[in-house]
Amino acid sequence: MTKMTKRVLRGYNRLAFGEIQDAVRLLFSDGIDDAELDKMDLFNVAEIRRPKGGGMEIKFFDRLKALQCMEMLNAEEKEGVSGFYHALQESTRAFERDSV
Protein backbone atom coordinates (compact mmCIF):
# COMPACT_ATOMS: atom_id res chain seq x y z
CA MET A 1 0.00 0.00 0.00
CA THR A 2 1.42 3.38 -0.99
CA LYS A 3 1.80 6.30 1.40
CA MET A 4 -0.84 8.23 -0.50
CA THR A 5 -3.32 5.34 -0.30
CA LYS A 6 -2.73 5.06 3.45
CA ARG A 7 -3.26 8.79 3.84
CA VAL A 8 -6.49 8.69 1.84
CA LEU A 9 -7.75 5.73 3.88
CA ARG A 10 -7.00 7.59 7.13
CA GLY A 11 -9.05 10.53 5.84
CA TYR A 12 -11.97 8.32 4.86
CA ASN A 13 -11.72 6.61 8.25
CA ARG A 14 -12.04 9.98 9.99
CA LEU A 15 -15.03 10.86 7.83
CA ALA A 16 -16.73 7.51 8.44
CA PHE A 17 -16.05 7.15 12.16
CA GLY A 18 -15.03 10.63 13.35
CA GLU A 19 -16.68 12.60 16.11
CA ILE A 20 -19.08 15.47 15.45
CA GLN A 21 -19.45 16.85 18.97
CA ASP A 22 -17.33 19.95 18.25
CA ALA A 23 -19.57 20.83 15.31
CA VAL A 24 -22.67 20.38 17.46
CA ARG A 25 -21.08 22.55 20.16
CA LEU A 26 -20.36 25.21 17.52
CA LEU A 27 -23.96 25.02 16.31
CA PHE A 28 -25.45 25.63 19.76
CA SER A 29 -22.94 28.14 21.10
CA ASP A 30 -23.60 31.86 21.23
CA GLY A 31 -20.03 32.83 20.54
CA ILE A 32 -16.71 31.07 20.28
CA ASP A 33 -13.40 32.87 20.15
CA ASP A 34 -10.74 32.11 17.54
CA ALA A 35 -8.50 30.20 19.96
CA GLU A 36 -11.32 27.84 20.90
CA LEU A 37 -12.36 27.46 17.26
CA ASP A 38 -8.80 26.47 16.30
CA LYS A 39 -8.92 23.60 18.81
CA MET A 40 -12.15 22.15 17.40
CA ASP A 41 -12.16 19.05 15.23
CA LEU A 42 -14.36 20.04 12.28
CA PHE A 43 -12.93 17.49 9.82
CA ASN A 44 -16.37 15.96 9.16
CA VAL A 45 -17.94 19.33 8.31
CA ALA A 46 -18.59 19.83 4.61
CA GLU A 47 -20.29 23.22 4.82
CA ILE A 48 -21.30 25.88 7.35
CA ARG A 49 -23.92 28.50 6.46
CA ARG A 50 -25.61 31.34 8.25
CA PRO A 51 -29.02 31.92 6.63
CA LYS A 52 -30.42 35.45 6.37
CA GLY A 53 -33.07 34.67 8.97
CA GLY A 54 -30.43 33.85 11.56
CA GLY A 55 -29.10 30.65 13.01
CA MET A 56 -26.57 28.32 11.48
CA GLU A 57 -26.65 25.28 9.19
CA ILE A 58 -23.95 22.64 9.25
CA LYS A 59 -23.67 19.93 6.59
CA PHE A 60 -21.54 16.88 7.24
CA PHE A 61 -19.74 14.65 4.77
CA ASP A 62 -21.61 11.44 3.93
CA ARG A 63 -20.36 8.63 6.19
CA LEU A 64 -21.74 5.90 3.92
CA LYS A 65 -19.92 7.30 0.89
CA ALA A 66 -16.71 7.37 2.91
CA LEU A 67 -17.21 3.70 3.82
CA GLN A 68 -17.89 2.83 0.18
CA CYS A 69 -14.74 4.63 -0.91
CA MET A 70 -12.74 2.78 1.75
CA GLU A 71 -14.12 -0.52 0.49
CA MET A 72 -13.33 0.41 -3.11
CA LEU A 73 -9.74 1.38 -2.24
CA ASN A 74 -9.22 -1.85 -0.34
CA ALA A 75 -10.58 -3.88 -3.26
CA GLU A 76 -8.32 -2.06 -5.72
CA GLU A 77 -5.35 -2.63 -3.45
CA LYS A 78 -6.10 -6.37 -3.29
CA GLU A 79 -6.48 -6.59 -7.07
CA GLY A 80 -3.26 -4.69 -7.58
CA VAL A 81 -1.41 -5.07 -10.83
CA SER A 82 -3.08 -8.36 -11.68
CA GLY A 83 -6.42 -6.53 -11.88
CA PHE A 84 -4.95 -4.08 -14.37
CA TYR A 85 -3.57 -6.86 -16.54
CA HIS A 86 -6.86 -8.73 -16.36
CA ALA A 87 -8.75 -5.64 -17.55
CA LEU A 88 -6.19 -5.07 -20.30
CA GLN A 89 -6.52 -8.68 -21.41
CA GLU A 90 -10.32 -8.46 -21.50
CA SER A 91 -10.27 -5.26 -23.54
CA THR A 92 -7.83 -6.87 -26.00
CA ARG A 93 -10.16 -9.84 -26.41
CA ALA A 94 -13.11 -7.53 -26.99
CA PHE A 95 -11.13 -5.63 -29.61
CA GLU A 96 -10.17 -8.88 -31.36
CA ARG A 97 -13.82 -10.02 -31.44
CA ASP A 98 -14.94 -6.70 -32.91
CA SER A 99 -12.28 -6.70 -35.62
CA VAL A 100 -13.18 -10.17 -36.94
Confirm whether pTM is higher than 0.85: no
Give me the pLDDT at residue 31, please: 82
Our count of domains for the chain comes to 1
Domain of residue 74 covers 3-99
Tell me what the mean pLDDT of segment 65-69 comes to: 94
Q: Could you tell me if 49 and 60 are in contact, meaning their C-beta atoms sit under 8 angstroms apart? A: no
Choose between 40 and 90: higher pLDDT: 40
pLDDT for 54-63, tens place per residue?
889 999 999 9
CA separation for the pair 54, 81 (Å, rounded): 53
Give me the pLDDT at residue 5, please: 85
pLDDT for 19-36, tens place per residue?
999 999 999 988 889 999
